[in-house]
Copies of this chain bind each other. A is one copy, B any other.
Amino acid sequence: MKIDSVEFFYAAMPEVTLAADGSQDALLVRVTSGEYVGWGECEASPLVSIAAFVTPRSHGVCQPVAASVLGETLDGPEDIARIAALVERNSMDLLQAAHTFSGIEIALWDLLGHRFEQPVWRLLGYEKSTPKVPYASMLFGETPEQTMQHVSAAMIAGFRAVKVGWGGFGETTVQSDADHLMAAREALGTDGILLVDAGQIWGSDVEAAALRIPALAEARATWLEEPFLAHAYGEHAQLAARSQGVGIAGGEGAHTTHMATNLIDYGKVSYVQIDTGRIGGIGPAKAVADYAHAHGVTYVNHTFTTHLALSASLQPFAGLADHRICEYPAEPSALARDITSTGLALDENGEISAPDAPGLGLDVALENLGPYLRTVDISVDGTTLYASGTSAGRAVTVDA
Protein backbone atom coordinates (compact mmCIF):
# COMPACT_ATOMS: atom_id res chain seq x y z
CA MET A 1 0.00 0.00 0.00
CA LYS A 2 1.06 3.57 -0.67
CA ILE A 3 1.23 6.59 1.63
CA ASP A 4 -1.68 8.64 0.32
CA SER A 5 -1.53 11.79 2.42
CA VAL A 6 0.23 13.60 5.22
CA GLU A 7 -1.68 16.32 7.08
CA PHE A 8 -0.51 18.67 9.80
CA PHE A 9 -2.55 20.12 12.65
CA TYR A 10 -0.90 23.06 14.39
CA ALA A 11 -2.50 23.66 17.79
CA ALA A 12 -1.50 26.29 20.36
CA MET A 13 -2.71 27.85 23.57
CA PRO A 14 -4.32 31.29 23.11
CA GLU A 15 -1.28 32.81 24.76
CA VAL A 16 2.15 31.20 24.44
CA THR A 17 4.38 32.50 27.23
CA LEU A 18 8.14 32.53 27.73
CA ALA A 19 7.92 29.80 30.39
CA ALA A 20 9.99 26.66 29.73
CA ASP A 21 6.74 24.76 29.23
CA GLY A 22 6.88 22.75 26.01
CA SER A 23 3.19 21.84 26.11
CA GLN A 24 2.01 25.27 24.94
CA ASP A 25 1.75 24.19 21.32
CA ALA A 26 1.81 20.95 19.33
CA LEU A 27 2.16 19.80 15.74
CA LEU A 28 0.04 16.72 15.12
CA VAL A 29 0.52 14.63 11.99
CA ARG A 30 -2.12 12.42 10.38
CA VAL A 31 -0.99 9.94 7.73
CA THR A 32 -3.35 7.88 5.58
CA SER A 33 -2.58 4.76 3.58
CA GLY A 34 -5.60 3.10 1.98
CA GLU A 35 -8.22 2.72 4.69
CA TYR A 36 -5.69 3.09 7.50
CA VAL A 37 -4.84 6.17 9.51
CA GLY A 38 -1.96 6.89 11.90
CA TRP A 39 -1.19 9.82 14.19
CA GLY A 40 2.12 11.27 15.31
CA GLU A 41 3.51 14.45 16.82
CA CYS A 42 6.54 16.65 16.09
CA GLU A 43 8.29 18.44 18.97
CA ALA A 44 8.33 22.24 18.78
CA SER A 45 8.14 25.03 16.22
CA PRO A 46 5.20 23.80 14.14
CA LEU A 47 5.46 26.43 11.40
CA VAL A 48 9.11 25.65 10.65
CA SER A 49 8.47 21.90 10.58
CA ILE A 50 5.57 22.38 8.17
CA ALA A 51 7.81 24.54 5.96
CA ALA A 52 10.40 21.75 5.84
CA PHE A 53 7.74 19.39 4.46
CA VAL A 54 6.68 21.65 1.61
CA THR A 55 9.70 23.84 0.82
CA PRO A 56 10.96 24.02 -2.76
CA ARG A 57 14.10 21.94 -3.14
CA SER A 58 17.53 23.60 -3.12
CA HIS A 59 19.32 20.69 -4.83
CA GLY A 60 19.47 16.89 -4.90
CA VAL A 61 20.25 16.41 -1.20
CA CYS A 62 18.27 19.37 0.05
CA GLN A 63 14.78 18.27 -0.90
CA PRO A 64 11.58 18.80 1.09
CA VAL A 65 10.63 15.96 3.42
CA ALA A 66 7.50 15.36 1.31
CA ALA A 67 9.67 14.15 -1.58
CA SER A 68 10.76 11.09 0.40
CA VAL A 69 7.38 10.25 1.94
CA LEU A 70 4.36 10.82 -0.29
CA GLY A 71 3.52 7.89 -2.53
CA GLU A 72 6.05 5.57 -0.90
CA THR A 73 5.13 1.94 -0.22
CA LEU A 74 4.24 1.13 3.40
CA ASP A 75 3.74 -2.56 4.14
CA GLY A 76 5.89 -3.16 7.20
CA PRO A 77 8.51 -1.79 9.61
CA GLU A 78 11.22 -2.27 6.98
CA ASP A 79 9.46 0.32 4.83
CA ILE A 80 9.61 2.84 7.67
CA ALA A 81 13.37 2.30 7.92
CA ARG A 82 13.70 2.61 4.14
CA ILE A 83 11.74 5.87 4.08
CA ALA A 84 13.81 7.22 7.00
CA ALA A 85 16.98 6.49 5.01
CA LEU A 86 15.48 8.35 2.02
CA VAL A 87 14.80 11.40 4.19
CA GLU A 88 18.30 11.24 5.67
CA ARG A 89 19.79 11.21 2.18
CA ASN A 90 17.45 13.49 0.23
CA SER A 91 17.16 16.12 2.99
CA MET A 92 20.80 15.91 4.16
CA ASP A 93 21.27 19.70 4.05
CA LEU A 94 17.83 20.62 5.43
CA LEU A 95 18.46 20.92 9.16
CA GLN A 96 14.81 20.97 10.27
CA ALA A 97 14.02 17.74 8.38
CA ALA A 98 14.64 15.46 11.39
CA HIS A 99 12.05 17.28 13.49
CA THR A 100 9.49 17.24 10.69
CA PHE A 101 10.00 13.57 9.91
CA SER A 102 9.80 12.55 13.57
CA GLY A 103 6.05 13.14 13.73
CA ILE A 104 5.51 11.45 10.38
CA GLU A 105 7.55 8.41 11.39
CA ILE A 106 5.55 8.03 14.61
CA ALA A 107 2.34 8.19 12.57
CA LEU A 108 3.66 5.47 10.23
CA TRP A 109 4.16 3.14 13.23
CA ASP A 110 0.70 3.98 14.58
CA LEU A 111 -0.79 3.26 11.17
CA LEU A 112 0.98 -0.10 10.85
CA GLY A 113 -0.14 -0.98 14.38
CA HIS A 114 -3.77 -0.43 13.40
CA ARG A 115 -3.33 -2.32 10.14
CA PHE A 116 -1.80 -5.36 11.85
CA GLU A 117 -3.83 -4.92 15.06
CA GLN A 118 -0.68 -4.86 17.18
CA PRO A 119 0.72 -2.35 19.65
CA VAL A 120 3.77 -0.61 18.25
CA TRP A 121 6.04 -2.12 20.91
CA ARG A 122 5.19 -5.58 19.57
CA LEU A 123 6.07 -4.48 16.03
CA LEU A 124 9.41 -3.41 17.52
CA GLY A 125 10.01 -6.97 18.69
CA TYR A 126 9.10 -6.72 22.36
CA GLU A 127 7.01 -9.49 23.92
CA LYS A 128 5.50 -7.40 26.69
CA SER A 129 5.11 -3.83 27.84
CA THR A 130 6.78 -3.48 31.23
CA PRO A 131 5.66 -0.95 33.86
CA LYS A 132 7.59 2.28 34.28
CA VAL A 133 7.93 4.60 37.27
CA PRO A 134 6.84 7.99 36.02
CA TYR A 135 8.43 11.10 37.40
CA ALA A 136 6.54 14.33 37.65
CA SER A 137 8.41 16.94 35.64
CA MET A 138 8.15 20.44 37.08
CA LEU A 139 9.90 23.78 37.30
CA PHE A 140 11.70 24.97 40.45
CA GLY A 141 9.63 27.32 42.60
CA GLU A 142 10.65 30.93 43.10
CA THR A 143 11.60 30.14 46.70
CA PRO A 144 12.72 26.88 48.37
CA GLU A 145 9.35 26.85 50.16
CA GLN A 146 7.56 26.92 46.79
CA THR A 147 9.77 24.14 45.48
CA MET A 148 8.89 22.09 48.56
CA GLN A 149 5.17 22.71 48.06
CA HIS A 150 5.30 21.70 44.38
CA VAL A 151 7.17 18.49 45.13
CA SER A 152 4.84 17.66 48.04
CA ALA A 153 1.83 18.09 45.75
CA ALA A 154 3.33 15.58 43.31
CA MET A 155 3.91 13.07 46.11
CA ILE A 156 0.29 13.46 47.22
CA ALA A 157 -0.79 12.86 43.60
CA GLY A 158 0.91 9.46 43.79
CA PHE A 159 4.32 10.07 42.20
CA ARG A 160 7.39 8.36 43.68
CA ALA A 161 9.82 10.41 41.60
CA VAL A 162 10.02 14.12 40.81
CA LYS A 163 12.19 16.13 38.46
CA VAL A 164 12.74 19.80 39.17
CA GLY A 165 14.48 22.11 36.77
CA TRP A 166 14.91 25.46 35.07
CA GLY A 167 13.41 28.42 36.96
CA GLY A 168 16.77 30.08 37.65
CA PHE A 169 18.64 26.97 38.84
CA GLY A 170 22.34 27.39 38.16
CA GLU A 171 22.01 31.10 37.46
CA THR A 172 22.04 32.53 40.99
CA THR A 173 24.19 31.40 43.93
CA VAL A 174 25.42 27.92 44.77
CA GLN A 175 23.76 28.31 48.18
CA SER A 176 20.39 29.19 46.66
CA ASP A 177 20.56 26.13 44.42
CA ALA A 178 21.47 24.01 47.47
CA ASP A 179 18.49 25.38 49.42
CA HIS A 180 16.10 24.41 46.62
CA LEU A 181 17.61 20.92 46.38
CA MET A 182 17.35 20.27 50.13
CA ALA A 183 13.75 21.55 50.11
CA ALA A 184 12.92 19.09 47.33
CA ARG A 185 14.60 16.24 49.22
CA GLU A 186 12.67 17.11 52.39
CA ALA A 187 9.37 16.93 50.50
CA LEU A 188 10.36 13.63 48.88
CA GLY A 189 11.27 11.94 52.17
CA THR A 190 13.96 9.27 52.29
CA ASP A 191 12.67 7.06 49.49
CA GLY A 192 11.49 9.54 46.85
CA ILE A 193 13.56 9.77 43.69
CA LEU A 194 14.99 13.24 43.02
CA LEU A 195 16.02 14.25 39.50
CA VAL A 196 17.39 17.67 38.56
CA ASP A 197 17.32 19.40 35.15
CA ALA A 198 19.80 22.20 34.51
CA GLY A 199 18.50 22.98 31.01
CA GLN A 200 22.00 23.59 29.48
CA ILE A 201 22.43 26.55 31.81
CA TRP A 202 26.23 26.21 32.14
CA GLY A 203 26.87 26.05 28.37
CA SER A 204 30.45 24.71 28.32
CA ASP A 205 31.47 25.80 31.84
CA VAL A 206 32.44 22.63 33.70
CA GLU A 207 33.58 24.48 36.84
CA ALA A 208 30.23 26.26 37.27
CA ALA A 209 28.49 22.90 37.08
CA ALA A 210 30.98 21.21 39.43
CA LEU A 211 30.22 23.81 42.13
CA ARG A 212 26.71 22.36 42.40
CA ILE A 213 27.80 18.72 42.73
CA PRO A 214 28.20 18.65 46.56
CA ALA A 215 24.61 19.83 47.12
CA LEU A 216 23.29 17.45 44.45
CA ALA A 217 25.12 14.58 46.17
CA GLU A 218 23.91 15.64 49.62
CA ALA A 219 20.31 15.80 48.36
CA ARG A 220 20.88 12.36 46.79
CA ALA A 221 19.89 13.43 43.30
CA THR A 222 19.75 10.42 40.99
CA TRP A 223 20.79 12.51 38.02
CA LEU A 224 21.80 15.96 36.86
CA GLU A 225 20.29 16.53 33.42
CA GLU A 226 21.63 18.66 30.57
CA PRO A 227 24.33 20.57 32.41
CA PHE A 228 25.82 21.65 29.05
CA LEU A 229 25.08 22.25 25.37
CA ALA A 230 23.84 19.18 23.53
CA HIS A 231 27.06 18.65 21.54
CA ALA A 232 29.47 19.38 24.43
CA TYR A 233 30.46 15.74 24.96
CA GLY A 234 33.86 16.42 26.48
CA GLU A 235 32.33 18.69 29.11
CA HIS A 236 29.73 16.05 30.00
CA ALA A 237 32.52 13.48 30.45
CA GLN A 238 34.61 15.80 32.61
CA LEU A 239 31.68 16.42 34.93
CA ALA A 240 30.78 12.72 35.02
CA ALA A 241 34.29 11.98 36.29
CA ARG A 242 33.75 14.16 39.35
CA SER A 243 30.02 13.87 40.01
CA GLN A 244 30.20 12.00 43.35
CA GLY A 245 27.69 9.35 42.34
CA VAL A 246 25.21 11.73 40.75
CA GLY A 247 24.50 10.36 37.28
CA ILE A 248 24.82 12.71 34.31
CA ALA A 249 21.80 12.66 32.00
CA GLY A 250 21.16 14.13 28.56
CA GLY A 251 20.14 13.45 24.99
CA GLU A 252 16.87 15.29 24.39
CA GLY A 253 18.58 17.46 21.78
CA ALA A 254 19.60 14.43 19.69
CA HIS A 255 18.25 14.68 16.16
CA THR A 256 20.16 11.64 14.90
CA THR A 257 20.91 8.21 16.39
CA HIS A 258 24.62 9.00 16.34
CA MET A 259 24.15 12.14 18.45
CA ALA A 260 22.69 9.98 21.20
CA THR A 261 25.27 7.19 20.98
CA ASN A 262 28.03 9.83 20.92
CA LEU A 263 26.69 11.20 24.20
CA ILE A 264 27.03 7.69 25.62
CA ASP A 265 30.45 6.97 24.12
CA TYR A 266 32.12 10.36 24.55
CA GLY A 267 29.89 12.16 27.07
CA LYS A 268 29.87 9.23 29.54
CA VAL A 269 26.28 9.88 30.56
CA SER A 270 24.54 7.37 32.81
CA TYR A 271 21.06 8.17 31.46
CA VAL A 272 20.23 8.88 27.83
CA GLN A 273 16.96 10.76 27.32
CA ILE A 274 15.39 10.59 23.88
CA ASP A 275 12.54 12.61 22.44
CA THR A 276 10.87 10.57 19.69
CA GLY A 277 9.48 13.85 18.36
CA ARG A 278 13.00 15.06 17.52
CA ILE A 279 15.35 12.12 16.87
CA GLY A 280 13.48 10.98 13.79
CA GLY A 281 10.74 8.97 15.50
CA ILE A 282 10.39 5.57 17.13
CA GLY A 283 12.84 3.59 14.95
CA PRO A 284 15.98 5.59 15.77
CA ALA A 285 14.87 5.85 19.41
CA LYS A 286 14.66 2.02 19.56
CA ALA A 287 18.19 1.83 18.13
CA VAL A 288 19.39 4.12 20.92
CA ALA A 289 17.56 2.04 23.54
CA ASP A 290 19.29 -1.11 22.27
CA TYR A 291 22.66 0.65 22.30
CA ALA A 292 22.13 2.02 25.80
CA HIS A 293 21.08 -1.39 27.10
CA ALA A 294 24.17 -3.02 25.62
CA HIS A 295 26.42 -0.35 27.14
CA GLY A 296 25.05 -0.29 30.68
CA VAL A 297 23.34 3.07 30.26
CA THR A 298 19.71 3.64 31.29
CA TYR A 299 17.31 4.73 28.55
CA VAL A 300 14.69 7.33 29.50
CA ASN A 301 12.08 9.09 27.38
CA HIS A 302 11.93 12.87 27.07
CA THR A 303 8.32 14.04 26.94
CA PHE A 304 6.85 17.36 28.01
CA THR A 305 3.77 17.54 25.80
CA THR A 306 0.76 15.28 25.10
CA HIS A 307 -0.09 11.67 25.97
CA LEU A 308 0.15 10.88 22.26
CA ALA A 309 3.80 11.92 22.46
CA LEU A 310 4.07 10.03 25.77
CA SER A 311 2.84 6.78 24.25
CA ALA A 312 5.18 7.21 21.29
CA SER A 313 8.08 7.84 23.65
CA LEU A 314 7.36 4.73 25.76
CA GLN A 315 7.37 2.32 22.80
CA PRO A 316 11.15 2.24 22.16
CA PHE A 317 11.92 0.91 25.67
CA ALA A 318 8.57 -0.69 26.53
CA GLY A 319 10.11 -4.16 26.75
CA LEU A 320 13.29 -3.18 28.63
CA ALA A 321 12.20 -4.07 32.16
CA ASP A 322 15.36 -2.75 33.82
CA HIS A 323 14.91 0.72 32.33
CA ARG A 324 12.28 1.80 34.81
CA ILE A 325 12.12 5.58 35.06
CA CYS A 326 10.01 7.55 32.59
CA GLU A 327 9.22 11.22 32.17
CA TYR A 328 5.58 12.12 32.64
CA PRO A 329 4.15 15.55 31.86
CA ALA A 330 2.59 16.24 35.26
CA GLU A 331 1.20 19.71 34.64
CA PRO A 332 0.47 19.91 30.90
CA SER A 333 -1.45 22.74 29.29
CA ALA A 334 -5.18 22.37 28.63
CA LEU A 335 -4.32 21.90 24.97
CA ALA A 336 -1.99 18.98 25.72
CA ARG A 337 -4.69 17.33 27.85
CA ASP A 338 -7.43 17.84 25.28
CA ILE A 339 -5.55 16.35 22.31
CA THR A 340 -6.29 12.74 23.29
CA SER A 341 -9.66 11.46 24.50
CA THR A 342 -7.98 9.24 27.07
CA GLY A 343 -4.54 9.34 28.67
CA LEU A 344 -2.02 7.13 30.39
CA ALA A 345 -3.08 7.34 34.04
CA LEU A 346 -0.98 6.13 36.95
CA ASP A 347 -2.02 2.70 38.24
CA GLU A 348 -2.34 1.73 41.93
CA ASN A 349 1.44 1.35 42.12
CA GLY A 350 1.98 4.83 40.71
CA GLU A 351 3.23 3.27 37.46
CA ILE A 352 2.35 3.47 33.75
CA SER A 353 2.90 1.21 30.75
CA ALA A 354 2.77 1.60 26.99
CA PRO A 355 -0.81 0.58 26.04
CA ASP A 356 -1.74 -2.92 24.89
CA ALA A 357 -4.07 -1.53 22.22
CA PRO A 358 -3.14 -1.38 18.49
CA GLY A 359 -0.73 1.32 17.35
CA LEU A 360 -0.04 3.92 20.01
CA GLY A 361 -3.28 2.95 21.74
CA LEU A 362 -4.72 6.45 22.03
CA ASP A 363 -7.38 8.31 20.08
CA VAL A 364 -6.77 11.85 18.94
CA ALA A 365 -9.79 13.96 19.90
CA LEU A 366 -9.92 16.13 16.82
CA GLU A 367 -13.31 17.40 17.98
CA ASN A 368 -11.60 19.04 20.98
CA LEU A 369 -9.02 20.87 18.93
CA GLY A 370 -11.13 23.58 17.31
CA PRO A 371 -10.30 26.35 19.79
CA TYR A 372 -6.58 25.61 19.56
CA LEU A 373 -6.07 25.12 15.83
CA ARG A 374 -3.95 27.66 13.98
CA THR A 375 -4.30 28.14 10.25
CA VAL A 376 -1.09 28.36 8.26
CA ASP A 377 -0.63 29.58 4.70
CA ILE A 378 2.68 29.37 2.89
CA SER A 379 3.12 30.47 -0.71
CA VAL A 380 6.06 31.02 -3.07
CA ASP A 381 5.60 33.16 -6.18
CA GLY A 382 1.89 33.29 -5.48
CA THR A 383 1.49 29.50 -5.53
CA THR A 384 0.20 27.97 -2.31
CA LEU A 385 2.61 25.33 -0.98
CA TYR A 386 0.66 24.76 2.21
CA ALA A 387 -2.75 25.75 3.51
CA SER A 388 -4.19 24.37 6.74
CA GLY A 389 -7.00 21.91 6.16
CA THR A 390 -5.50 20.51 2.98
CA SER A 391 -2.74 17.99 2.53
CA ALA A 392 0.01 17.61 0.00
CA GLY A 393 -1.66 14.37 -1.09
CA ARG A 394 -5.30 15.36 -1.27
CA ALA A 395 -7.80 17.83 0.09
CA VAL A 396 -9.36 16.99 3.45
CA THR A 397 -12.03 18.40 5.69
CA VAL A 398 -11.06 19.10 9.26
CA ASP A 399 -13.75 17.76 11.54
CA ALA A 400 -13.16 20.32 14.27
Q: Is A216 an interface residue (CB 8 A)?
A: no
Tell me, in angstroms, the Cα distance from A204 to B261 when the chains sit together.
13
Taking CB atoms, residues of chain B closer than 8 Å to A22 are 58-59, 62, 93
Query: Taking the complex as formed, is A255 at the interface, i.e. its CB lies under 8 A from any CB of chain B?
Result: yes
- Chain-B contact segment, one of A307-315, A342-350, A377-385: A377-385
Query: Is A256 among interface residues, defined by CB-CB distance under 8 A?
Result: yes
A397: interface (CB < 8 Å): no
A92 in the interface (beta carbon within 8 A):
yes
A239 within 8 A of B: no
Q: Which residues of B contact A8 (CB under 8 A)?
A: none
Q: Residue of B at shortest CB range from A52? A: B48
Select one of B62, B258, B374, B385 contacting A229, CB under 8 A: B258
Q: Does A259 contact B (CB under 8 A)?
A: yes
Of all chain B residues, which has the CB nearest A229? B258
Q: Which residues of B contact A94 (CB under 8 A)?
A: 44-45, 48
| Cβ of A16 under 8 Å from chain B | yes
**CB-CB < 8 A to A375: which residues of B?**
380-382
Give the residue of B48, B57, B233 whose beta carbon is less than 8 angstroms from that of A266. Answer: B233
A231 an interface residue at 8 Å Cβ cutoff?
Answer: yes
**Is residue A131 contacting chain B, with contact meaning CB distance below 8 A?**
no
List which A244-279 residues lie within 8 A (CB) of chain B: 253, 255-256, 258-259, 262, 265-266, 278
Question: Are A44 and B16 in contact, CB atoms less than 8 angstroms apart?
Answer: no
A232 and B258 form a contact (CB under 8 A): yes
Given A266-B233, A266-B266, A55-B47 contact (CB < 8 Å): yes
Residues from chain B with a CB closer than 8 A to the CB of A12 are: 56
Contacts of A141 on B, CB cut-off 8 Å? none
Q: A297 at the A/B interface (Cβ < 8 Å)?
A: no
Residue of B nearest to A91 (CB): B45
* Residues in B neighbouring A99, C-beta threshold 8 A: 95
- Residue A46 interfacial (CB < 8 Å): yes
**Is A225 part of the contact surface with B, judged by Cβ < 8 Å?**
no
Interface residues of A in 44-102 (CB under 8 A from B): 44-48, 51-52, 54-63, 85, 88-89, 92-96, 98-99
- Let me know if A130 is at the binding interface, CB within 8 A: no
A331 in contact (CB, < 8 A): no
Known: A45-B94, A47-B380. A24 touches B58 (CB 8 A): yes
Given contacts A48-B55, A266-B233, A380-B374, contact A95 B95 (CB under 8 A): yes
Q: Which of A21, A57, A95, A98 has the most CB of B within 10 A?
A: A95
B16–A58 touching, CB < 8 Å: yes
Query: With A232-B258, A379-B376 known to touch, is A47 a contact of B56 (CB < 8 Å)?
Result: yes
Q: A16-B58, A25-B58 are in contact. List 12 more A-B contacts (CB 8 A).
A: A17-B59, A20-B59, A20-B60, A21-B60, A45-B55, A47-B51, A48-B55, A92-B253, A230-B256, A231-B259, A374-B381, A376-B380
Q: A residues touching B (Cβ–Cβ < 8 Å)? A: 10, 12, 16-22, 24-25, 43-48, 51-52, 54-63, 85, 88-89, 92-96, 98-99, 199-200, 203-204, 229-234, 253, 255-256, 258-259, 262, 265-266, 278, 374-382, 385
What are some 11 contacts across the A-B interface (CB < 8 A)?
A17-B59, A19-B59, A21-B59, A45-B52, A45-B95, A48-B48, A95-B98, A231-B262, A376-B378, A376-B380, A377-B377
Please name the 5 residue pairs, one residue from A and one from B, whose CB atoms are nearest each other, closest first. Answer: A231-B258, A51-B51, A96-B96, A18-B60, A47-B55
